[in-house]
Chain A
Amino acid sequence: MMLSEDIELIDGMPLLFIKSLNAIVVADMHLGYEGVMAKRGVLIPKINFKKMSETISAAIEKTHAKKLIVDGDIKNEFSKVDEEEFNELYDFIMFCRNAGIEPILIKGNHDNFVERYREPFKLSVYRQQAVIGKYLFFHGEELPELGKATKGIKAMIMGHEHPAIGIIDAIGKHERLKCFLYGKYKNIPLIVIPALNFFAGGTEINMVPRSELLAPIFSKLNLDSMHAIAVGYGSTIDFGTIKELRKLA
């Protein structure tokens, strides 16, 4: 579905395509997730990278995008670069080369040390926030800085929150769906992208109170009026406002 003339949500995929930038936008990949979990004793199969690269490949095939903007948290650990993370980061860069797509990284709260790879791999890395074309990209753990540099932007795009909605049906079955949030902050359109990470189920925005949310921006805007656009089962559908969805919970 088209979010605007320039922004497309591809059916069933937790990512955006921006025509004017010829770029796919994703957030919260958390590369190296399984490796980091394994170090804590959770020996889950490694499929996150595989599943994410399949999704990105399919999106490239559909859109012929040339750029891939990762809107924060490309990797998982906070404080250090884990060996497993490094391996997958390397695999990811190789994947982009083979797919003929240029990765552009926006730094998230998990992305200390990513800059270390900027030189050897010739990566574009932005700190905290970046204006690319008519859009402001920021990860979301801090409020965006609006000023001269952001004048005239068409929309702001963030990740960080891993948004999802929870739906309980008439017979008590509980379903959780990843979703985009679409609304306004200081009168500028705001898009929150769900996590691309396979293992991130997401935070059910319509079920938890606002105080439980991570991103500070949600205490500064009208969350109830934001639309939740759910992704799953091969399609992408606008489920209406959070206010309405709270009734479903």
Chain B
Amino acid sequence: MSKGFSDKESLGVLNNDVREWFTGNFKELTMPQSFTFKLVSEHKNILVAAPTGSGKTMSGFVAILSDLFNKASRDELKEGVYCIYVSPLRALNNDIYKNLSKPLEEIYKLSEKNAKSSKVTIAVRTGDTPQKDRQKQLRHPPHILVTTPESLAILITSEKFAENLKMVEYVVIDEIHELANNKRGVHLSLSLERLRSMIGHDFTRIGLGATLYPLDEAAKYLVGCNDDGTSRDCVIIDASWGKKLQVQAISPVKDMIYTPDEKIEQNTYSIINDIIKKNKSTLIFTNTRSGTERVVFNLKKKFGYNEDIAAHHGSLSRESRLEVEELLKAGSLKCAVSSTSLELGIDIGSIDDVIQLGSPKSVTRAVQRIGRAGHKYKSVAKGEIIVLNRDDLVECSIMLDAALKRHLDSFRVPMNALDILSQHIVGMSITKKWDVKEAYSVIRSSYPYSNLSYGDFIATIRYLSGEYVGLESRRVYGKIWYDEKENAFGKRGKMIRPIYMLNLGAIPDEVSVNVFDSKTKKWIGNIEEEFLTRLKPGDIFTLGGRLYRFEYAKGMRCYVSAAVSAAPTIPPWFSEQLPLSYELAIEIGTFRRNFSEAIQKHFKKSSLKLASKMPKELSEMLGSLPIDSNASKAIYGYFVEQLLFAGSVPNDKLMLIEITKDPKSGQNLAIFHSLYGRRINDTLSRVIAIHIGRRLGTDVGIMINDNGFLINTEGILKPSDIEEAITSMVGRDPEPLLKSNIRKTEIMKRRFRHVAARSFMILRNYKGYKLPVGKQQINATLLIKAVESIDKDFPVLKETYREIFEEVMDLPRTKSLLKSIKSGDTKYKIIKTQIPSPFAHSMITFGHADVVLMKERHEYLKYLHKMVIKRINASK
């Protein structure tokens, strides 16, 4: 639908008191509201995409309130839940409760003139809800229940509470963009279908979300499927572009290579300070938690800010985060600095300007972040990205251009996740005995399982019934019984209900490794498990602002010694780094192709020179991008250097492969300029490394980057080695090879443990025994081996591979890329260089990079660049 209903029509459908309340409190209907009042009153499923501050919540709720007050006035309002509101954030739940309690009170006052009127009630139910409130909710259920996906899953499995859900007419899912793309959302989707089957009737589904694409897919997720597999009806209301964007990519200095670090840093901070001073409130995003801390520290130190500036990120305590949110809302902060935590969700009041330091790596994320600026729904969102290097510059320019053109990155719903399925089969078995076919059809009505194969479904049931151990042990291993003849299943034993309630959910336990001083055995701090797996003895890393040398690890304890005057060998943000999205990578690749072709075309006759003035037509081409003049010159210079040095610019249709040597370490490298997003690079680099390794009979090292990947081998690679590796790679299905390679990696162990926990194979809470995460991790390799020896397609194993291939890596798109290389649509070119070409420099210095200050990397970059220029000049 493109046009909403008239205000008259919209308000006409409302209950008199609700209408009076609404018109008394709001001047007009917002764009989404002009659709939703009428559609919800007609019980249509709707999906609303709109930015924060657009009256989104009210757009979902007003017509529901109207219906409830109508029922009240007719004395038809019974005790029971009519509306369930689900959001992934507990903080948001408390917000909603506050924001709805007041209107409910006010409307009730208006309706008191009606003799029969009764109160419409609301209550929050999350993991934090005290026992006595739970009891109260059980006896006197609220009409509107505000909850989380996990608590909902518990409620629908609770025999007693289920009675209270029989009259549910509406389900509102808020922050749908935070759910549709992950397993938590998959979990919720199955809960809704179970609820529908349990109460025997459907309900109106209202999805609310921020900017996301494709909306069709989100709608399918929201409403689920009919018995014939088609999607249920849903009206999509796209108001996500209500705010205009005013954005720019800024280069802090003219010359991004030879300007001294101090100068770059100084300029960056003075640009930030100017923006902060100009505005009442500024929000700064860095990409990492450590970056956030450093920016706050430096701003305070350099410009004398004090309490008027604050950090907000996931490592801070809940209390201090809440405090920052309250201060922001109250307008008493001049500036807040955040990593990702303030990207979405909670209302943070009005922000004048959003600064992004370094590339946010996806168009959607850029839009979401910058969209936090601007006072009202209709006002302009103003934002800047300050870039850190030349690759960042090209990336951010294209990103902002795409944002202005409304080209967003797409998300994907995880399909057929067998671990979440396992949980729900157990949950279903608790409520009743199921006919397998009937259960299968309930599950298939959830969109993430709409094409679940019957074979996988039965394999999961068999696994849950404990068929993988002998009969005598099934009492312990089996969670359900499965009768093949009767084709039915049900719960096994009394313990299964508490097991289900205590272990359900899709979020894996946070794994943090304790770090101790190896001599004093004193606790120093925590690091992420993934970070530990990257450490070799002798590696130097930062923790809490100090440097430590890694000594050894035992189980989940890591031992270090203080390293005083050393440089870190491992960047602190390794696992925090945001990956470049596929769509944005393709857009950058397209720009690279168009712009480099334009340069070559222009210089067909006269010869291309370094430091030549940019021809008018080329500067016009860059002029259409949202960048300043420093930035524009830098991009031109960058492309010219690459063309002069390497003869070609890698792009969306050309993968440049450079055989070269790292001048610093002397390592032999093959640099693949593969610009398809990090997740494809993660996949492709492994596939090609396997083929090269097989040819040469050696181990092959890989280093993955957003703009490509590096392969290093002991000996020198010949072009023919790569040529043949590519030929054999594109000629066959990469999946089996990848599987056997992935098996031995850390990521496999880690993901397997998550999936095993979600599938109830490793119970985190069992008979009052809380299994420490460390214990879960021990011997994951051997656990995998044990499971494999039973069945290579064991559901827990199959799901681990699926999660890695589809959620961590991107096997489907890698497969299409391989096809495209095979058919010649995507070409590749192998060149040999003495030193890496300019476009490879940031890939090589990857290991030294950091956010604002990047000393080491920058020094090295200068060194590389000097050599390139020398070479170009020498060849004249």
Interface residues of A (CB under 8 A from B): 35, 38-47, 84, 87, 168-173, 198-201, 203, 207-209, 212, 249
Contact = CB atoms under 8 A, between A and B. Distances in A.
A203 B470 CA distance: 31
A52 to B, nearest CB: 13
A171 B701 contact: yes
Nearest to B519: A209
A171 B712 contact: yes
A42 B776 CA distance: 8
Contacts of B476: 35, 38-39, 43
Interface in B756-774: 760-767, 769, 771
Please tell me the size bucket of the interface on B.
35 or more
9 contacts: A41-B771, A42-B762, A42-B776, A44-B783, A45-B468, A46-B473, A47-B786, A171-B700, A201-B778
Interface in B456-511: 468-470, 472-473, 476-477
A201 B778 CA distance: 9
A171 to B, nearest CB: 3
A198 B714 CA distance: 34
Nearest to A249: B537
B769 A41 contact: yes
Contacts of B762: 41-44
Nearest to B790: A45
Contacts of A170: 699, 701, 714
A231 B469 CA distance: 29
A249 B701 CA distance: 18
Given A171-B701, A201-B781, A208-B552, A46 B470 contact: yes
A84 B477 CA distance: 12
A84 B778 CA distance: 21
Q: How would you classify the secondary structure of chain A's contact residues: helix, strand, loop or mixed?
A: loop
A208 B554 contact: yes
Contacts of B469: 45-46
Contacts of A249: 537, 552
Contact of B765 (A41, A172, A208): A41
A170 B771 CA distance: 35
Nearest to B782: A199
Interface of B: 468-470, 472-473, 476-477, 518, 534, 536-537, 551-552, 554, 559, 699-701, 712, 714, 744, 760-767, 769, 771, 775-776, 778-779, 781-783, 786-787, 789-790
A41 B786 contact: no
A234 B149 CA distance: 49
Contacts of A199: 779, 782-783, 786
A47 B771 contact: no
A129 B714 CA distance: 50
A207 B779 contact: no
Nearest to A246: B537
Which 5 pairs across A and B sit closest by C-beta, in order of nearness?
A: A41-B766, A41-B763, A171-B701, A38-B476, A47-B786
A172 B536 contact: yes
A46 B787 CA distance: 9
A168 B536 contact: yes
Given A45-B786, A47-B786, 16 more contacts: A38-B473, A43-B760, A44-B787, A87-B472, A168-B537, A169-B699, A171-B700, A199-B783, A199-B786, A200-B779, A201-B781, A203-B554, A207-B552, A209-B518, A209-B552, A249-B552
Nearest to B479: A43
Contacts of B786: 44-45, 47, 198-199
Nearest to B764: A41
Nearest to B689: A171
Contacts of A45: 468-469, 786-787, 789-790
B518 A40 contact: no
Residue among A35, A47, A168 having the largest count of chain B Cβ atoms under 10 Å: A47
